[in-house]
A = this chain, B = another copy of it.
């Protein structure tokens, strides 16, 4: 491995001069600088990140932590994060799993964006106490080193409920997310608020944010079927499970079972009939996250951010029978 020491030897200068030259400092003659750069190139010199990071106490890398690499929400989100990170001079690495958590406290990265319920708040707070900068996308956490960029879940839930009610549905089944999921809890709050205000009945069906939850919900709905029902799946993936399970039954979506989801993932637009759902810009969400994290790192005061949502209509919701 060739280091600045080798370059120094070859160029007949000291290592500090080499370092200056390599970092484009003007403390060194253009002439020597050119010679050094030339030699560096000849020797195929490549700096060692660990050494630099150790000395500078920063890596210029941002990390994002996901529960799982599978999952349709991530593509655009990560893309948005990457674009902004790069624009602001940072690299982005995506990680998943408990093993990788230590990259933050061990200073392999300068900050973290968290979208992973399995990353415990206690752990996050502990890191924040140690001075590490964090942006959370899936919980509320009050700490000067932590910023929130959250979906407007309540508004989304309200939009969904309103859409069902506009179509005449007065009893609405809700397929929830897994216990403890922030998104699920928030969406439920929106649901309850809207339902109470409108005097509409809601029936909770416990779900898991996975297709399996939708399948189970479908089975229960078929078992208990008496008349057309309305269902708000708290995410699209469960709605897809529900579609799948209903596919070879005599029940028709948008006719016997009216469904709306949340997330507007890509598959949703290809479902027959098209799934009504709640949309938000995943890319913008990612962009905001990166932006906030960099601000946090540079010591700026930052307010929490919010990502807005809107309704996507679809024939998965039809008029309730009069």
* Residues of chain A having any CB pair with chain B under 8 Å: 44, 46-51, 53-54, 59, 61, 63, 68-72, 74-76, 78-79, 82, 86, 91-97, 99-100, 102-103, 105-108, 130, 240, 266-267, 270-272
Contact = CB atoms under 8 A, between A and B. Distances in A.
A74 B69 contact: yes
Contact of A93 (B72, B74, B93): B93
Given A69-B94, A267-B267, A47 B106 contact: yes
A46 B106 contact: yes
Nearest to A266: B267
A93 B101 CA distance: 12
Nearest to A74: B69
B49 A103 contact: yes
A50 B94 contact: no
Contact of A130 (B44, B48, B53, B240): B44
Given A49-B103, A86-B99, A93-B94, 18 more contacts: A46-B102, A46-B105, A49-B50, A49-B106, A50-B107, A59-B108, A61-B108, A63-B93, A68-B79, A69-B76, A69-B78, A69-B82, A70-B75, A71-B75, A91-B103, A93-B103, A266-B267, A270-B272
A108 B49 contact: yes
Sort A-B residue pairs by CB-CB distance and give the 10 closest, nearest first.
A69-B78, A70-B75, A49-B106, A94-B94, A93-B93, A50-B54, A50-B53, A46-B105, A49-B108, A50-B50
A50 B47 CA distance: 14
A51 to B, nearest CB: 5
A130 B100 CA distance: 27
Nearest to A272: B272
A100 B91 contact: yes
A96 B88 CA distance: 15
A271 B267 CA distance: 9
Nearest to A80: B69
Contacts of A271: 270
Contacts of A272: 270, 272
Contact of A70 (B69, B76, B92, B100): B76
Contacts of A53: 50
A93 B72 CA distance: 19
A107 B68 contact: no
B44 A54 contact: no
13 contacts: A46-B130, A47-B106, A50-B54, A70-B76, A72-B75, A82-B97, A92-B95, A92-B96, A93-B100, A94-B94, A94-B95, A108-B108, A240-B270
A113 to B, nearest CB: 13
Given A86-B97, A270-B267, A272-B272, A106 B75 contact: no
Contact of A91 (B75, B92, B95): B95
Contacts of A51: 50, 54
Contacts of A79: 68-70
A289 to B, nearest CB: 13
A93 B69 CA distance: 11
